[in-house]
Amino acid sequence: MKIIEREHIDIERWNKLVSASENASVFSYSWYLDATAENWCVLVNNDYSSGIALPYSVRLGVKTLYTPIFVRYIEWLGAKSDFKQIQEKIKGQFSNIEVSIKQPILGVKYDSYVYQSIEVNVERKLGSQAKRSLKKAMKSELEVLVSKDYSGIENIVKSELVGKYNGIDEVSIHALSKLFQAAKKENRISVYEIKGQGGIVCINDKGSLLYLKGTVSKSCKEQGGMYACLDRAIRDADQEHKKFDFGGSRIDGVKRFNHNLGGKDVTYYGYTFNNAPIWFKLARRIKNKWSKK
C-alpha cells in the first residue's frame, strides 16, 4: 500500500475501483472530492484493487485528515486488507486526524454516528407528521417538477439559509456550487423543484439516490413543500430499485424529519487523533474559542 497525491493518481483506475466496490458512495469519486476537498490523496495498492481516499488540509505546515463539507465519510474500498498496517500508514501521514469513516478501520476508540436511508424493496412507514404534511401539499396542489436545472434552488438556498444555520456560509455555498456543477457535468444530478419556491438537489449513483441539499420558501414549507419534494425523490428511487440516502445530519430535528419519511439509522464512525506539535494544539484551541463567540 502506498500514498499517492492527487496529481499522480491514475484517476481512471481509481474511479473504476469506486464503481466496482459494493455499496461504495459517491463521496469517493474523484470529481466529488475535487469539488469538496481542499487537498486529497489516496492510500492504494499497486493494482488499485483496494484503497481509501484521504482528504486533508494544511495549516501552519500541519496536515490534518478531515471530512470535507458535503462529504459524510471516507470509506475503505475493495478487498479487505491488514487494517493494522493501514492505521500505521494513515497515522504516519497525518499528525492531526478529525475524520468520519464508513468502517471502524482506525481502531476501537471511536464515536458512533448515524445517518438515515431507505433500503431497496423495504416497506416504508410514514410518521404522523409526514402524513399530515403530504396531505397539506396535495390539498395545496403543489407540483414537484423533475429536471437537471439546479439554479432556482441554489438561489433560494442562498437567500434562505446563508447566515441562519451553522456551517452554511459563503464558503460552504461556493463549495456547494462547485459540487452542483461537477454532478451535472457527470450527468448525475436530479432536481426536484416546486417552481419558484425551491426544492431539493439529489445525486444519482448506481445503487442510490443521495439527497445533497435543498430548501423551500417559508410559505411553501408550511404547505408541506419539503415533504413533497423528498417523498417524490424517495418514490423515484424505489421505482429505479435504488436506496434513498438522506445525506445525514447530527441535528436532532433533521433526524426526526428523516425518520418521519421512513428513514432508518445506519451507523458510521468518527476518529480523532492529535499528535500535532503543542504550539499547533494551542493555536487551534484559541481559534476555536474565538470562533464560538
pLDDT tens string 166-213: 566 777 888 889 999 999 999 999 999 999 899 999 999 989 999 999
DSSP 60: T
Residue ranges of domains in the chain, CATH in brackets: 2-114+268-291 (3.40.630), 125-262 (3.40.630.30)
Query: Is pLDDT of 292 > 50?
Result: no
DSSP 74: B
Under 8 Å CB-to-CB from 217, ≥6 apart: which residues? 156, 160, 197, 198, 225
Quote helix, strand, coil % in the chain, to nearest 5.
40, 30, 30
Q: How does pLDDT run across 239-267, given as a tens digit for each residue?
A: 999 999 999 788 899 999 999 999 999 99
Instruction: Give the predicted TM-score (pTM) of the model.
Output: 0.90
DSSP 47: T
DSSP 161: H
Q: With the C-alpha atoms ordered 154, 263, 167, 57, is the resulting torsion angle positive or negative? A: negative
Query: Which three cell numbers mark 49?
Result: 484493487
Arithmetic mean of pLDDT, 86-114: 93
Query: Which three cell numbers mark 12?
Result: 481512471
